[in-house]
Structure 1
C-alpha cells in the first residue's frame, strides 16, 4: 500500500514547520505533497527544505483547486488529505488507515464541538450534518472536515465535480454516498491553527449557505424539490379553500401557487435525471 499525503497550503510556512517533521517521522515511506496555493510567504521553500514535493500556483486558486492538483499528481493508491496549519495531528493517520482497511473507501476525521472554528461555524456544521444525514440515510458526523483518507481511484472519479473553493469535503463526501462507496468516521483531536484563517465570514458564509443546496443536488435533487413543490401545492390548496369560502371563487394567486408547485416538481425531476448522468463513469 503506497500512501500519498496531500496538504493544500496558503501562507502556511509556520504550520508546515510543525506538521511536516512529525508527518515524515510517522510515514517515512509516504509521498508528501504540499500544494502551494499562491503563497506570498516562505511556504514553498519551507516545504521543499523539509523534503516534501511542492506544487506551486502563480496565484491563489482555492483550497479545492489545490486538492485537485495534489490528487492528480499523487502516485499513491491511498490519499491522505490534511490541513497544513497544524490543526490536524499526523498521529491520527494510522487510525484512519486502519478503518480504511476494514473495507471502506473513505474515512473522515470527525471533529467534536471543541474542534469547530467558532460557534457560528459549529452551528452551521451541525445543520449540514443533519441535512446530509436526512438526505443519505446515513449518520454523517462531520460533513466539512478536511482530514480524510480515501482510495485514490475512487476519489479521482469525482475530480470534475469538486469546486475550487472551500466546499470540496462536502462535495466529495456526498459523491461517495451517491455512488454507494462506503464512508465512515473516526474521531480526531483538533489543535488551534498556526497563523490566520483564510475563511472570510461574509463571503464564505454565503458560500456555505449554498452548500445546503449542493448537499441536496449532489445526492438526490428530488428530495429537495418534491417537498418544496408539495408545500406550494398545500399553500395553494389552503388559499383556494379560504377564497372559495369567503368569496366563492378561484383566484389568480391560487393558480400561481399551483403552477409553481408543478414547475418546481418538474425542475426536480429533470435535476434528478441530470444528477444520474453526472455519476455515470463515462459521463
Structure 2
C-alpha cells in the first residue's frame, strides 16, 4: 500500500489502525511540518517511510511505487476519504483477471459523501472526453483509490522519483495532481484489462482538501489531451498477462 501524505498527522492516527493486514505499507512524506512521520510510526511501527525528493502527489506516488516489494499496489489517500474495508474488493478484481482495478464512485454500489454538483458535472464531462479519446468506459476518471499488479509499473513510465527537480522549480510531468489521470490514461493506452470497483468516498477527517474544481478540472482536461497525443506518438510496453502471476502479496 502506498500512502502519500503532506501534513496528515491527525488523519494517520485514525486511518492506519483501520488497515487490514497487508504485506507492506509505504508512507511517502512530502515535507510535513506537523509530525506526520512520527504519527505514522506511532500508529503503525512497521510502516516504511520514504521522503520524496521532489514535490507533488505524483512524485510521492512514484517514490512509493519504487519501494514496493509485493505483487499488488494499492493507492491509498491519507486523509480518511478512502475506506480500508474496500481493499479486498480491489484485490478480488485483480485476482479475477484485471490488470488495473479502478475505483469508481459512480458505478453501481459506489458513492460519495464529498462530491459537489459542480464536481460531479465536471467529472461526467471529463469522463466523456477521455472515453472518446481512449475507447474506454470509465464512469469516474477523477478518483485516486486504485490498485494494480506491481508488474504493470513499466507501463506507467513515470519520472524517476530520485532525480532532483529542475532548478527553475518547474514540476516534471506526472509529479503533480495530474498523476491519477496520467495513470488512468496510460493503462488505457496500453490496453490492459481494467475493471471498475465500486467505492464509497468518505469525508476527509481533518483538514481541508487542496482540490479546486475549476483549476483542477482544466488540468485534468489538459492531461487527457497530452496523454492522448503521447499514446499516438509512441509505443507502450506490452502488459504482463495474469497467467504469469503466481503468489500474491499486497503492497497497498
Task: Tell me, yes or no, whether TM beats 0.5.
Answer: yes
The residue aligned with 2:250 is: none
State the 1:205 CA deviation: 3.5
1:104-119 matched pairs, under 5 angstroms: 104-112=98-106, 114-119=112-117
Whether 1:56 and 2:51 are equivalent positions in the alignment is yes
State the 1:200 CA deviation: 5.2
The residue aligned with 2:118 is: 120
Q: Is the 8 A contact 2:37 2:49 kept in 1?
A: yes
State the 1:116 CA deviation: 4.6
Whether 1:152 and 2:130 are equivalent positions in the alignment is no
Q: Is the 8 A contact 2:29 2:36 kept in 1?
A: yes
Q: Is the 8 A contact 2:58 2:178 kept in 1?
A: yes
Tell me which of 216, 221, 226 is aligned to 1:217: 226
Name the CA distance, whole Å, in 1 between partners of 2:144 and 2:119: 14
The residue aligned with 1:11 is: 7
SS in 2 for 1:30: coil
Question: Which structure is larger by alpha-carbon Rg, 1 or 2?
Answer: 1
The residue aligned with 1:36 is: 29
Q: Which structure: greater helix fraction?
A: 1
Residues 190/114 of structure 1: CA separation in 2 closer, same or farther (3 Å cut): closer
Name the CA distance, whole Å, in 1 between partners of 2:68 and 2:237: 24
Task: Deviation per CA, 1:54-104: give whole Å up to 9, x if none.
Answer: 11247x711111000000011112101010001101100001110111111
The residue aligned with 2:247 is: none
SS in 2 for 1:128: helix
Task: Deviation per CA, 1:223-262: give whole Å up to 9, x if none.
Answer: xxxxxxxxxxxxxxxxxxxxxxxxxxxxxxxxxxxxxxxx
* TM-score, length basis structure 1: 0.71
State the 1:129 CA deviation: 1.0
Name the CA distance, whole Å, in 1 between partners of 2:153 and 2:143: 16
Residues 217/88 of structure 1: CA separation in 2 closer, same or farther (3 Å cut): same
SS in 2 for 1:155: helix
Name the CA distance, whole Å, in 2 between partners of 1:137 and 1:57: 34
SS in 2 for 1:215: helix
SS in 2 for 1:39: coil
1:1-283 matched pairs, under 5 angstroms: 5-23=1-19, 26-27=20-21, 29-49=22-42, 50-51=44-45, 52-57=47-52, 61-112=55-106, 114-160=112-158, 163-199=174-210, 201=212, 205-219=214-228, 221=229, 275-277=233-235, 279=236
State the 1:120 CA deviation: 2.6
Q: Is the 8 A contact 1:44 1:56 kept in 2?
A: no
State the 1:198 CA deviation: 4.1
Alignment RMSD (CA, Å): 2.2
Name the CA distance, whole Å, in 2 between partners of 1:90 and 1:114: 15
* TM-score, length basis structure 2: 0.79
